[in-house]
Amino acid sequence: MINLYKGGETVMLYHFIRPVLKYLTGMDTFSYITVRAIISFVVSFVLCLIAFPVFIRKMKEWKASQIIRYEGPQTHFSKIGTPTMGGIVVIIVMLISMGLCGNFNNDYVLIIIFVTITLGIVGFVDDYLKITKKSSDGLQAKLKLIQQIMIGLVVSTFIYFILGDRSIFVEDMRYIAIPFFKNLKIHLSFFYIPFGAFIIVASSNAVNLTDGLDGLATGLLIAVVATFGIFAYISGHKELSKYLLIDHIPISAEILVYCFAFIGGLAGFLWFNGHPAEIFMGDTGSLSFGGIIGTMSLMLKQELLLMIVGGVFVAETLSVIIQIISFKYFKKRIFLMAPLHHHFEIKGWEESKIITRFWIFGGLLALISLGTLKLR
């Protein structure tokens, strides 16, 4: 059997091309992570372009549309009837891409797929209940939060007890690194488990809160995932990680393939989700995608970097928290409406302008995050 992954591990793509492998030359190129990453992007993107028109048509036939809140901006009533749950397609094409190009002997790949599927299921149930009840109320908030916490605890516990004790990883996975500092780290010991769960749950809900305008969360996610993809590749490369003073985690490079599959799916989704949107991602997508970037930050030991590269998500979440506290205790609203993007809508900004400006901030934050690689 010919291995297509350096280090003695096999890639799923081999099983699909094996019948014709003997007639082809240069198949060793598939052993390179960068080549498989590019292929995974193309596969995800093309599959989205093929699948979404069919999916959108079917969802319209089933009247599975987004429920618009009456207390929201009045301009959103023009979106009534727009299909939702587009996250299902993105998740499926990502899994297909990973099935073709990913290495399933890699623990990080298994973890990230676990998070993708489980949080996707939570979001799917939430969306399904909203559609069937014709209401903006899906799963009970407490029940949804409990499910997210359980998933987060499973992942962080696995990292703590399993990955933290394996010699092939950095000496100890149970710490958090401080961006801009090469040797400053905070060891959390057992508290790493609840901390890790918090990161996953918080990022999952942050993306969910941000997903309120056409393409807004999608564009921001692309910037975050691209940044983590670069960090994953560098962290998995012994010489590059040593040169840039970040921890060498050998198997992290495989996450680059997942990141490219993810970006390809997001780009294909954005083709139809851009303003005016033909499809929304729904909680199926937002809860899952937010959990994915939170999990990536844990695996790459860049938990605090997530707060920088995902700064727009953080700002959106803080606007909600500040608004709730201010109104509850002082009977005053700091923002015209929360999350933050609704505040600017009420102020009279065009939706496309809000999206573009938030994307610009997201891109700048991604560049700043990449700058931490040298500013240490």
Per-residue pLDDT of the chain (376 residues; tens, 9 = 90+): 233 344 445 556 655 554 555 555 555 576 789 989 999 999 999 999 999 999 999 999 998 887 776 566 767 767 888 999 999 999 999 999 999 999 888 899 999 999 999 999 999 999 999 999 887 788 999 999 999 999 999 999 988 887 665 544 555 667 888 888 877 888 888 899 999 999 999 999 999 999 999 999 999 999 999 999 999 999 999 899 989 988 888 889 999 999 999 999 999 999 999 999 999 999 999 999 999 999 999 999 999 999 999 999 999 999 999 999 999 999 999 999 999 999 999 999 999 999 999 999 999 999 999 999 988 7
C-alpha distances in Å from residue 229, one per residue of 159, 224, 225, 253, 300 = 19, 9, 6, 8, 10
Beta carbons of 30 and 11 less than 8 angstroms apart: yes
pLDDT at 268: 98
- CB neighbours (10 Å) of residue 274? 15
Q: Which long-range contacts (CB under 8 A, 24 or more apart) does 10-14 make?
A: 10/103, 10/105, 11/36, 11/101, 11/102, 11/103, 12/98, 12/99, 12/100, 12/101, 12/102, 12/103, 12/104, 13/39, 13/100, 13/101
C-alpha distances in Å from residue 177, one per residue of 244, 263, 297, 344, 369 = 14, 26, 11, 35, 13
pTM above 0.75, yes or no: yes
Phi and psi of 183, rounded to 5°? -120, 0
pLDDT at 13: 61
pLDDT at 248: 86
pLDDT at 32: 82
pLDDT at 7: 41
Nearest to 70 by CA among 62, 79, 83: 79
Handedness of CA 258, 259, 263, 269 (dihedral sign): positive
C-alpha distances in Å from residue 285, one per residue of 62, 217, 264 = 19, 10, 14
CA gyration radius, the chain? 21
